[in-house]
Amino acid sequence: MAGLQVEVDGSIMEGGGQILRVSTALSCLLGLPLRVQKIRAGRSTPGLRPQHLSGLEMIRDLCDGQLERAEIGSTEITFTPEKIKGGIHTADTKTAGSVCLLMQVSMPCVLFAASSSELHLKGGTNAEMAPQIDYTLMVFKPIVEKFGFKFNCDIKTRGYYPKGGGEVIVRVSPVKQLNPINLTDRGYVTKIYGRAFVAGVLPFKVAKDMAAAAVRCIRKEIRDLYVNIQPVQEPKDQAFGNGNGIIIIAETSTGCLFAGSSLGKRGVNADKVGIEAAEMLLANLRHGGTVDEYLQDQLIVFMALANGVSRIKTGPVTLHTQTAIHFAEQIAKAKFIVKKSEDEEDASKDTYIIECQGIGMTNPNL
């Protein structure tokens, strides 16, 4: 086996934690020993951060594998996977590191486990530079379930930057194979809804102001739809620390989902947070794709594993997506084609079709 070790350069393309997530998940699934070098080499704090380490340790535990040289600051690891097993697994970033990114790395693996899994993921639920848990539940979940599986995600406690302290419990049953998806018909927007939240010491007025500013911003561009953004005060027993943020979802006639979201920071007024989320949503609606820019790269691994040809229509292909495609081709040997959309209505837009011939991964345990 040792001769077949996959060598990954962690500094190319996106050059961040994503390379680690994609390559270790695929290594685990395919039973391929892996060496990743130059991990986050170009970042201001190179090497493994706590959230990357907890993700790696969880994947190791999921399959009773071996992980070498994995410590904070390390720029090289080797990972030797064994058989993926179900059961209860815990990963704790001990920081505001994102629970959603922990879910991203573990979800494909547990689908091919021997039995059902329960993942206890601890860290930040609404963190910068990562999907918010609301995004994972409201956008990622309904779309990724089109691959032919279901999962359940229970938010025990929300946790914010810089303390973290949140926890979610994810339950997943294994599948025999994943179905390909075809997301190429966007339809038209039928509803826009969302939630603006405050937690801890922040006044409820902040939630109302974020929501109102977001609605005003969307109204300028989309006049004929009711926009329903609920202001929410997170209950004290279900939120750790202080935070505020907003997520807004647009749903289309064909079941496509797009989001815009933003988190409050010290010294940034509530209106600005609301407007930032609204503008992000509107930008995602302008490009003509069927997925927003954050879902794009999260679907690549599932497309690579599916049994058949998947197609998604997107706006400009992000660096994260190009990176995921590169490693899905290198490690899983899936075949991707990215081409400009040829539909008339997309002619004036930056719209692409990402097509993948999946490898038809089969769960050896079922």
Residues carrying an active site annotation: 320
Structural domain ending residue among the three candidates 286, 313, 335: 286
| Full domain range(s) for residue 277 | 189-286
44-76 pLDDT, tens per residue?
999 999 999 999 999 999 999 999 999 999 999
Note whether 144 and 179 are same-domain residues: yes
Query: Is there a single domain that holds both residue 202 and residue 127?
Result: no
218, 312: one domain: no
The pLDDT score that the predictor gives to residue 3 is 55
Same domain, 312 and 264: no
Give a yes or no: residue 22 inside a domain. Answer: yes
Looking at 251, 270, 286, the residue that finishes a domain is 286
pLDDT digits (tens, 9 = 90+) for 10-25: 999 999 999 999 999 9
**364 part of a folded domain:** no
Which of 263, 286, 309 is the last residue before a domain boundary?
A: 286
**Residue 4's pLDDT band (cuts 50, 70, 90):** confident
pLDDT at 347: 83
pLDDT at 107 exceeding the cut of 90: yes
pLDDT > 80? residue 2 = no
Report how far apart, in Å, the C-alpha atoms of 223 and of each of 82, 132, 215, 331, 337 are: 55, 27, 10, 47, 37
Give residues with Cβ within 8 angstroms of 173, minimum separation 6: 116, 149, 150
Using a 10 angstrom Cβ sphere, with 0-12 exposed, 13-18 middle and 19 or more buried, the burial of residue 325 is buried
Say if residue 57 is in the same domain as residue 158. Answer: yes
Q: Do both 128 and 259 map to the same domain?
A: no
Q: Which residues are annotated as a binding site for ATP?
A: 104, 294-298
Q: How far apart are CA 86 and CA 191, in angstroms?
A: 38
Residue at 1 is within a domain: no
Rounded Cα–Cα distance for residues 100 and 123 (Å): 9
Q: Are 167 and 45 in a shared domain?
A: yes
* Amino acid letter, 105: V
* CATH assignment of the domain containing 310: 3.65.10.20
Distant-in-sequence, close-in-space partners of 235: CB < 8 Å, separation ≥ 6:
none
d(CA 317, CA 189): 22
pLDDT at 103 > cutoff 80:
yes
Q: What is the mean pLDDT of the chain?
A: 96
Work out the percent of the chain whose per-residue pLDDT is above 70: 99
In a domain, 258, yes or no: yes
- Together in a domain, 194 and 113: no
- For residue 273, give the CATH number of its domain: 3.30.360.20
Number of H helices, E strands in the chain: 9, 17
Do 298 and 352 belong to one domain? yes
Q: Is residue 177 part of a domain?
A: yes
Number of domains in the chain: 2
- For residue 251, the model assigns a pLDDT of 98
Residue 365 lies in a domain: no
pLDDT of 269-318, one tens digit each?
999 999 999 999 999 999 989 999 999 999 999 999 999 999 999 999 99
- Judge whether residue 1 has pLDDT over 90: no
